[in-house]
């Protein structure tokens, strides 16, 4: 109380004010702002990660679609030996015919925007002369975090494999 009989309340004399060890009040102004800023940063990172993972998966599915189309096209490619030996239970294939037909198919398809490049990989061919195996490798472009990954020298490479066989039904 002051001389005039009115109670004086200030910051230091507030009943709910905490005091530190030295007896002065702790200044907690703005600490909730830092907490909210931290939570917002975590939320943005989680959203960016989820968008990047989804984009990578969609790029993989698009690459798989192309690999399956190339394998189907290659499975229908007759090898030159079919003219000499005939066609048995399935269309005869060679590594060369599978690779040529798959490369022609990849060259004829438009590349999706989320894939910066694609190519046939080793393993494309035929293991048994009847099954066409096409392996496609592509570089995915990820939104939001793609430029940061490029600056770090990191790329997201996706590898898919597809098999197809053309059986002859009697």
pLDDT digits (tens, 9 = 90+) for 15-26: 555 555 555 556
Taking only the tens place, the pLDDT of each residue in 71-89 is: 999 988 776 666 666 666 7
Residue 24 lies in a domain: no
Q: Which of 42, 44, 52 has the alpha carbon at shortest distance from 155? A: 52
State the residue range of the domain holding 64: 34-165
Residue 141 lies in a domain: yes
Residue 83 lies in a domain: yes
Q: Please count the structural domains in the chain.
A: 1
Residue 54 lies in a domain: yes
The predicted model scores a pTM of 0.71
Residue 60 lies in a domain: yes
Identify the H or E element spanning 156: strand 156-165
Residue 78 lies in a domain: yes
**Residue 78, burial from CB neighbour count under 10 angstroms (0-12, 13-18, 19+):** middle
Angle between helix axes 31-75 and 95-108 (nearest 10 degrees) is: 130
- Give CA–CA dist 75/102, Å, rounded: 9
Residue 121 lies in a domain: yes
Half-sphere exposure of 119 (CA within 13 A, CB side): 5
Residue 20 lies in a domain: no
């Amino acid at each position: 109380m002051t001389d005039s009989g009115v109670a004086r309340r200030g910051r230091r004399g507030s009943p709910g004010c905490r005091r530190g060890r030295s007896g002065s009040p702790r200044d907690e102004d703005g600490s909730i702002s830092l907490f909210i800023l931290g939570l917002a940063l975590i939320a943005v990172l989680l959203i960016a990660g989820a968008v990047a993972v989804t984009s990578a998966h969609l790029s993989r599915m698009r690459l798989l679609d192309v690999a399956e189309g190339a394998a189907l096209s290659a499975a229908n490619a007759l090898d030159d030996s079919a003219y000499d030996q005939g066609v048995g239970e399935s269309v005869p294939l060679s590594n060369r015919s599978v690779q040529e037909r798959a490369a022609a198919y990849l060259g004829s398809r438009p590349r999706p925007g989320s894939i910066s490049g694609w190519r046939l990989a080793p393993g494309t061919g035929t293991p048994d002369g009847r099954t066409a195996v096409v392996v496609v490798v592509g570089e995915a472009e990820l939104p939001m975090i793609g430029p940061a990954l490029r600056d770090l020298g990191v790329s997201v490479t996706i590898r898919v494999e597809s098999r197809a066989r053309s059986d002859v039904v009697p």
